[in-house]
Structure 1
């Protein structure tokens, strides 16, 4: 097949090397082209005029060459800034170039690869911080988030409460009805929690049948009321072959102080939880308060 001008033009557009070669060739030969055009027009060969034309053509060729090359590689600067921004704060790389030369291919490939990598990393991060059975956070996630909430509560001088609870006699459910039923119980509990938490509350499964709620902007009495609502809803669960009243939980509530560490908060809530179990289970116990019976 004999190459046509349109085929040659497409080849140049699709090749950065070809475009650079064409621009450099034109810039280098522009003084010669200008001189040939000048002499061919019949003008005089005055040395001063000839020198002026050569200098002007050289200057124009140089400026044209440098500015065109800058234009060719400009997308790489945008890509570099986008990648640096992504590394700094995770801003997605939104860069799509219409050009089909090597720079366009590299830029679009890098942008696509980073987007795919970011998606994979987000999924891995979610898997690493989420309890797969209940859909709640896990202990690792809670450790990260509770520190943030403590800092915010201290800055805003707002209360923050912690609720620890675990399911009563959960081992007996597994032993008597199998782990499939136990898993259904945990999933049902997780669903109740997700459906009833406020948007700024935190919930995590931190052990086999142990859960933790972190309630920002919440006093101990308010946290106890929230825990009581959960207790009542768990008691109503009907999960075959378990009838309502079989799934119950004991709750420990503690309102943190600014000086409390995460370990101290959980320890105080855990002590209240232990007292709730000692006094009959299926009840809410606030740290330092009398137990509340059903």
Structure 2
């Protein structure tokens, strides 16, 4: 194989690998939609109501609207009242959910309940029997009603085995972990003591979502393909080693130099594509990449994102157009550079500074809340206000600040918008101040 052909194949393989790596995130997801469905199989489990009939019943079955009405004389700490989907035909052979990653639900809860429990039963002959419905492993997760706004994603890793079930059946440690290989039922119920009244629930969507090919399997396949290619290449060259040893050494040296240069050029262009050349802060594209990485890392490490991904500070230089108009764009550029330097010195080594556009900067504080961010904003604001710009022709510069942090499951655009609204409020309050954003867009 000549050098030209080898290099062409290598470049083609690199290109194919890059495409395969990018393609992974666009692979179709597998979905198991339970509701809405034309042929659902479900039942209620509830204690007796006021008239002795079950306390759970349909208000409008077509709209999947059901109600639980506990009796006024109920004194039990837990009144059974649940809606259950059957995922089995015979009670033994259920549905394998081990290949799914999360549960998508969309429901409306009307009543005083603060939490809703989602629970599954897994049938395993090692500890389950057909005669005892309670012998199926009980795995569940409690979700605050406030989190069930719109379509909600519940990671299956959040489901835990109930301690009462382990104790009741005296389950050995080897079987104490969650299982999803043979799920027979999925239930939704109320987890707290229920006062008299109506507790309504309207179920709009229940579906399990997973990957046809996991990221690990996909990357392992790419790695295996490369290993097989390298192995085949090595075998061929071992056969020709005696005749082509000197030529092979030259090829290896050339390839090593080429790979190093390619890596160097790749690093160079990666930096050029993510850094603002004037201030040396990240540009908007670079910030977008950092945000995507932080959100993905948070979801991987903390499931539904109970810890804050980051806090966000939006900074706008006050009356910057006036600076450009009166002093010229060269002065404006120097002011931008000086402000960027002040911000960079104030934030931590693990924080990120970006130029969002024009005279607007953005700071990302990983794993920080907005209370920390507002203090940081004030620190930066005072530093800017106390700096003498353009000493030969002194210029007073101030900036306004809007602060927010990412709420669980919130899109970055909404986090940014709340900070942007807070920034406009700071402008409206006279500039040179910091405003903390509300947790709700409609509160502004």
Q: TM-score range by the shorter chain?
A: 0.5 to 0.7
Contact 2:346 2:379 in 1 (8 A): no
Provide the residue aligned with 1:117 in structure 2: 262
Provide the residue aligned with 1:164 in structure 2: 314
TM-score (normalizing by structure 1): 0.62
Contact 2:347 2:376 in 1 (8 A): no
| C-alpha separation in 1, matches of 2:314 and 2:337 | 18
TM-score (normalizing by structure 2): 0.42
Q: Deviations over 1:165-214 (max 9, x none)?
A: 11000111111111111111111111122222212211110100011111
Aligned pairs (5 A) from 1:27-38: none
Aligned pairs (5 A) from 1:128-207: 128-154=273-299, 155-156=301-302, 157-159=306-308, 160-207=310-357
Matched, 1:248 2:384: no
User: 3-state DSSP class of the match of 1:203?
Assistant: strand
Aligned pairs (5 A) from 1:259-274: 259-274=409-424
Q: Which runs of 5+ in 1 are unaligned?
A: 1-75, 90-98, 290-294
Q: Deviations over 1:218-264 (max 9, x none)?
A: 111110000000001111222225536x1111000012112211111
Matched, 1:224 2:370: no
**RMSD (Å), alpha carbons:** 2.4
Provide the residue aligned with 1:102 in structure 2: 247
Hey, which bits of structure 1, 4+ residues long, moved more than 6 A? Answer: 86-89
| C-alpha separation in 2, matches of 1:250 and 1:140 | 23
- How many residues are matched? 198
User: 3-state DSSP class of the match of 1:134?
Assistant: coil
Q: Deviations over 1:90-126 (max 9, x none)?
A: xxxxxxxxx9821111110111011112111111110
Computing the radius of gyration from Cα coordinates, the structure with the larger value is 1
The structure with more strand, counted as a fraction of residues: 2
User: 3-state DSSP class of the match of 1:101?
Assistant: helix
Matched, 1:127 2:272: yes
Q: Deviations over 1:144-163 (max 9, x none)?
A: 11122123334343222111
The structure with more helix, counted as a fraction of residues: 1
Q: Which runs of 5+ in 2 are unaligned?
A: 1-5, 22-218, 220-243, 440-444
